[in-house]
Amino acid sequence: MRSVDDKTINSYVAMRNSGSYDAAWFYRYFLDNGGKDTGIDYFISVLNMYGIDGVIDHLDKKFGVVKLMDKSGKFIKIVQ
């Protein structure tokens, strides 16, 4: 059973498939999961400093989503 509600996962999948990452979504998720309220500007600067790829990989695994790629390794879409 998933530890995250379907609404959160669905919004994550839609965001991933759009190819445009919403920093506010990540900040809300961070706060909703016990993160300290540092202000969104500071949060974004830290996220940019460390990179989002590790966060994306972690959330893909946590949410149980699958990244579909074509034969050449090009991203197709995220599915649940």
pTM given for the model? 0.85
Distance (Å, whole) CA 67 – CA 25: 20
pLDDT in tens, 58-73: 999 999 999 999 999 9
CB atoms within 10 A of CB 22: 13
Query: 3-state class of 24 per DSSP?
Result: helix
pLDDT along the chain (80 residues), means of 10: 78 96 95 95 94 93 95 94
Burial 39-71 (b: 16+ CB within 10 A, else e): ebeebeeebeeeeeeeebeebbeebebeeeeee
Distance (Å, whole) CA 44 – CA 49: 8
The whole-number pLDDT of residue 2 equals 45
